[in-house]
Structure 1
Amino acid sequence: MSAQTKSLFITRVRVAWLLLAMLLLLVCLPGRTLLAQGTDDAASLREHYQNHTQQLDHNQFHRQLYMDSSESPTNLKGDIYAVVDYPFATVSGALNDPVKGPANWCDVLILHLNVKYCHAATNNGVAQLSVNLGKKVEEKLSSTYRVEFNYRPAVTSAEYFRVELNADTGPLSTKDYRIVLEAIPVSGNRTFLHLIYAYGYGLAGRVAMKTYLSTIGRDKVGFTTVNDPSSGQPEYIGGVRGLLERNTMRYYLAIDAYLAALSVPAGGRLQQRLITWFDATEQYPRQLHEVDRDAYLQMKNNEYTRQQTVQ
């Protein structure tokens, strides 16, 4: 081999190794980024827990919980932070499991008054929840709105998890639905949760919400208090933020009721979930009371039966 040929060969080998190293770097980067992001999110959530112990311990909810919400011209977002008396492994295993998680989330969501049906399935390798939204009374599925959520356990570790439910579109030009749950273990074999419920809306959604809030929803309020400019006294917020806060709380109480029933024998879990959810909502009658107990239990038992039989 001539010196020129040998030099060319060495150059090609070096280039090949460089390309291989770049390829390996590109392959590894997503995993490293995901790990780093998960670590950062866990640290951020733990810092949030440590900085808000006063709000968790002293609030209007009579439980370790506090709420935040925000409104823009096209988006609504509600946040609930809470400490629950269940081990982190129990919470993660129930709601963050790639196999059982979607069906478990259906058992959570159906507790909400406006969720009339939920079915978990896999489509092209993606776990999906088909959720029908409707009125707070019994109705045919043909009268409800279908929303397709993608289910994704985004981050899972021994000290943190985040699971995401996302839907691109919803009824009446609503869009970008997000239900996100993240959690860390805390002292006392408990878990600190952060629930996000958010969605966007267009013109039709804005008109529908204004119509609702000017008619049957005009006297409904949320949980955040603001000073009334005319009296200077604190009052609960109304409007779309009040609507958002009520639903965010309903979803949180559904998660809590589902977790509480896990200690009950399987055959009694549905009734325990329904009773726990209803009783929890009745602790906040100004915001959440809609139907009486018997009507709720009958409606939800019927809807759950339909959920198990209708595909």
Structure 2
Amino acid sequence: MNRLRVIACRCLLRIGLGLALGALALASRAAPEAGSAQALRDMQHQLADALAHSSLNRPVHLDSSETSDGVQGDVYAIVDHPLDEVRDTLGDAAPWCEMLVLHIDNRRCRVTRRPEGDTLTLSVVRRYDKPVEQAIEIAFDWRNASNARDYLAIDLHAAAGPLGTRNHRVALEAVALNPRQTFLHFGYAYDHHMMARLATMAYLATFGRHKVGFTVVGIDAEGRPAYIHGLRGLVERNAMRYFLTLDAYLDGVAVPAPQRFEARLHQWFGAIAQYPEQLDETDLATYLALKRADREREAAAR
């Protein structure tokens, strides 16, 4: 039984967007659903000081929370891209697939077009070196909730996920901060049953006991920052990985099309490497070889 729990929680740790984001610790915490341009601007004003003095060395606010029946969270960030560029880049389901496979554990993504809306199917392995045949698939209904001139909102929903997780909700919101920058909200929540929670906690108490998040909870014996562990640490690591995925994909817009794929890979890995204590998993050569092989496989399949 203990072995089954460990295997299950290893899978759960890696599931695509499933453990992506931590909840914002504010009294006005909101579920990760599309709101309004004004509400997002109000949030930017509330977070202005936190963004300006972020310990993450970039204007990103990251926090984490867990509920009795799941996890939910939000990342708020300023990116150096105008709102129109963000809309043009992420306003369709297909670019989301291209973006998400930058993440080391996401091995394949496909879009199905239907009259009732697009479905985005993400294939995720429990560890980057596992073959795509062992991937777990999560099917998200993708919806452009708002494409107004001053406000972009994208919603994704998956009724069922792996290992008993359910009701996965993802939201991206964006408003212009100035002509060259955009303020983003990238939110996520999902529900789980007791078995999935116990499996995750078993992993975090054994194989994952040395993994940490980004929230500083104290000072260790050597006077260094002591970071949060456990489920919140897990949520924060995935939150940062996916924000860096989004940021790397947007940065690739300025690169000529023939070099764009490689540029985005290098951008993502370089950003991950800035946080070795939390996000280090492999070396650049291994990552590049993996992603190039995935791309060649998908090209051959098409």
Conserved 8 A contact 1:117-1:306: no
Aligned to 2:149: 158
Q: Which aligned pairs between 1:171-182 and structure 2 lie closer than 5 A? A: 171-182=162-173
Aligned to 2:63: 68
Return the letter of the residue paired with 2:114: N
Conserved 8 A contact 2:172-2:185: yes
In structure 2, distance between residues paired with 1:219 and 1:243: 11
Aligned to 1:93: 88
In structure 2, distance between residues paired with 1:79 and 1:230: 31
Conserved 8 A contact 1:120-1:128: yes
Of 226-235 and 263-272, more deviation after overlay is shown by: 226-235
In structure 2, distance between residues paired with 1:308 and 1:210: 39
Aligned to 2:45: 50
In structure 2, distance between residues paired with 1:300 and 1:82: 27
Question: In structure 2, do the counterparts of structure 1 residues 308 and 149 end up closer, same or farther at CA, with 3 Å as the change threshold?
Answer: farther
Residue 101 (structure 2) pairs with residue 110 (structure 1): yes
Aligned to 1:296: 287
Return the letter of the residue paired with 2:87: S
Aligned to 2:135: 144
SS at match of 1:135: coil
Identity of aligned residues (%): 37
Aligned to 1:7: none
Consecutive unaligned residues of structure 2, counting only runs of 5 or more, are: 1-32
Aligned to 2:120: 129
In structure 2, distance between residues paired with 1:49 and 1:146: 34
Return the letter of the residue paired with 1:92: R
Relative contact order (C-alpha < 8 Å, sep 6+): which is higher?
A: 2
Aligned to 1:262: 253
RMSD (CA atoms)? 2.3
Aligned to 1:286: 277
Query: What TM-score results when the alignment is normalised by the length of structure 2?
Result: 0.83
Question: In structure 2, do the counterparts of structure 1 residues 111 and 243 end up closer, same or farther at CA, with 3 Å as the change threshold?
Answer: same
In structure 2, distance between residues paired with 1:204 and 1:305: 38
Conserved 8 A contact 2:71-2:189: yes
Return the offset for 1:151: 0.5
Aligned to 2:243: 252
Return the offset for 1:232: 11
Conserved 8 A contact 1:110-1:304: no
Conserved 8 A contact 2:152-2:174: yes
In structure 1, distance between residues paired with 2:82 and 2:231: 35
Return the letter of the residue paired with 2:46: N
In structure 1, distance between residues paired with 2:121 and 2:288: 22
**Greater per-residue helix proportion:** 1
Return the offset for 1:233: 8.6
Return the letter of the residue paired with 1:78: G
Aligned to 2:233: 242
In structure 2, distance between residues paired with 1:230 and 1:168: 45
Query: What TM-score results when the alignment is normalised by the length of structure 1?
Result: 0.81
Q: Which aligned pairs between 1:7-18 and structure 2 lie closer than 5 A? A: none
Aligned to 1:14: none
Conserved 8 A contact 2:220-2:226: no
Conserved 8 A contact 1:165-1:180: yes
Aligned to 2:209: 218
Count of residue correspondences: 270
In structure 2, distance between residues paired with 1:306 and 1:203: 37
Specify the structure having the higher radius of gyration (Cα): 1
Runs of 4 or more above 3 Å deviation? 227-234, 307-311
Of 148-157 and 234-243, more deviation after overlay is shown by: 234-243
Aligned to 1:18: none
Question: In structure 2, do the counterparts of structure 1 residues 183 and 134 end up closer, same or farther at CA, with 3 Å as the change threshold?
Answer: same
In structure 1, distance between residues paired with 2:62 and 2:202: 26
Conserved 8 A contact 1:114-1:134: yes
In structure 2, distance between residues paired with 1:65 and 1:147: 27
Aligned to 2:182: 191
Consecutive unaligned residues of structure 1, counting only runs of 5 or more, are: 1-36
